[in-house]
Amino acid sequence: MAIFSMRVQVVKRSSGRSVIAAAAYRSGTRLHDQRQGITHDYRNKRGVECSEMIFPKDAPAWVQGIDREGFWNAVDASEKRRDAQTAREIYVSIPRELSPDERVRVVRDFVTDSFVSKGMVADIAWHLVPASDGGDNCHAHVMLTMRPLVAGGFGNKVRHEYIPDPQGRAHPDGRVMLVESNSQSWNSAAYYETCRLRWEQLANDALQRAGSSERIDRRSLLERGIARLPEPMLGAAYHMKELYGRMKDRFGQYLAAKHAREVEQRATVALDRLDTISPAEAMRTVERFRAWFDRKLDHLPMAREGPMPDFSTPSHSPDMER
């Protein structure tokens, strides 16, 4: 069954994350972080079908012919703050009913139309891993720049402010309603909703071309009038096995067990709350746990000169390669 899944997260130094490590992990490549002097090698990572970078048509000369390592190091060097936000990542689930060529085409069209056309640089990685139900889990990770390209570097971020509604609308309690001053801001919630709609349209068009009757719907269960809770995150167990393997490599048996207990405790607290809160809050809780889990995975790999060994012990790869 085709499902709609799109998530956004920001790569932030304040969370201890590196944009070079994130790019290497998503693309399954070996990249050297010049600022930290660390080499991130994920050439043995499973499930990466292909990857590519897309630049705006009017990109300046300094990015012509640049490779992934050079570009993301330039992005990292352009940010001076220790709590800088260095990249934005979009995760999209691709309908498994599509052929490999069609999966590449639909994601490329979506990224070019929704992000590259606005001046962002996109680094796309297509992943194909076994899902919890035994089928294919097809998805893509899209890393996007936070600043537009200019001659010799990067420009200012395209931001927005919250201002009183020009139409004079107010909340029921009398408080002034605030709206975004720039709906075209790269951080705009309205712009993100437009991207969600565009992905729904492109994916459904691709399904129709493939002769499939399946369709995806960006609306929530409540908006569609379906009275049930979202399904649980079935891939959590596989995620934890992968995380535990990486922790053993870095920390040794004792500290790996200590960190594994922290993961289990956080998962238990997060998932036990799902029966006592609203469906909307339940979805937010699951997303927060997924984001926290991502940060754990990004922090663990050590620098090494050779390819990273494969620590995945289960017969299936994780349901959501992150």
Q: How far, in Å, CA of 58 to CA of 55, rounded?
A: 8
Pairing of strands 122-130, 136-144: antiparallel
Lowest mean pLDDT among 37-51, 238-252, 276-290: 238-252
179 in Cβ contact with 163 (< 8 Å): yes
Buried b / exposed e over 164-195, threshold 16 CB at 10 Å, is eeeeeeeeeeeeeeeebeeeebbbbeebeeeb
122 in Cβ contact with 115 (< 8 Å): yes
* Confidence label for 269 from pLDDT (cuts 50, 70 and 90): confident
Please, what sign has the CA dihedral across residues 83, 85, 86, 89? Answer: positive
Q: Is the pLDDT of residue 171 over 90?
A: no
Q: Give pLDDT, residue 303.
A: 38
Q: For 216-233, what is the mean pLDDT?
A: 75
**Tokens at 125, concatenated:** 């990685």
* Confidence label for 319 from pLDDT (cuts 50, 70 and 90): very low
Lowest mean pLDDT among 194-198, 203-207, 265-269: 265-269
93 in Cβ contact with 3 (< 8 Å): yes
Q: Give bridge partners of residue 243 from the DSSP assignment.
A: none
Q: How far, in Å, CA of 263 to CA of 265, rounded?
A: 5
Q: Is the pLDDT of residue 109 over 80?
A: yes
Longest CA pairwise span in the chain (Å):
62
Q: How far, in Å, CA of 252 to CA of 246, rounded?
A: 10
Q: Is the pLDDT of residue 301 over 70?
A: no
Angle between helices 19-27 and 68-78 (to 10 degrees): 160
Contacts of 208 (CB under 8 A, 6+ apart): none
Dihedral (Cα; 57, 62, 65, 68), 10-degree rounding: -100
Q: Give pLDDT, residue 294.
A: 66
More confident residue, 67 or 248: 67
Q: Give pLDDT, residue 304.
A: 41
26 in Cβ contact with 141 (< 8 Å): yes
More confident residue, 1 or 165: 165
